[in-house]
Amino acid sequence: QSALTQPASVSGSPGQSITISCTGTSSDVGGYNYVSWYQQHPGKAPKLMIYDVSNRPSGVSNRFSGSKSANTASLTISGLQAEDEADYYCSSYIFSSTRFGTGTKVTVL
């Protein structure tokens, strides 16, 4: 089962905006609006940041936003902060299954 494709790393300076892409196919990302994004700090469990493409769970900063175009979903972090440095994973529903992305390491310069 192939993972969704994410860039290995993205970096930005404090205050800047960065975008992480998550590329799949018409069978997963492009076929359903069930794309989620997770933040994972070292040694910690992942934390849900975005669900159903663009919805934020209660308590997640509005600096995090999600979108989708065709087979590619995106996570944008605006006003980058030091605490945003972490690994980020996307996931998507694919019929009777769930698929994670390859993961992106975000570095705050």
* Residue range at the interface with other proteins (CB under 8 A); choices 16-24, 72-80, 88-96: 88-96
32 vs 67 by CB, closer to other proteins = 32
Q: What minimum distance in Å lies between the beta carbon of 54 and other proteins? A: 12
DSSP element (H, E) containing 1: none
| Cβ neighbours for 32, distance < 8 A, ≥ 6 positions apart | 92, 93, 94
Cβ atoms of residues 18 and 76 within 8 Å = yes
13 vs 96 by CB, closer to other proteins = 96
Strands 86-94 and 35-40: antiparallel
The count of other CB atoms within 10 Å of the CB of residue 69 is 10
* Residue range at the interface with other proteins (CB under 8 A); choices 10-18, 22-30, 69-77, 94-102: 94-102
**Contacts with other proteins, residue ranges (CB under 8 A):** 1, 3, 32, 34, 36, 38, 45-48, 50-52, 57, 89, 91, 93, 96-103
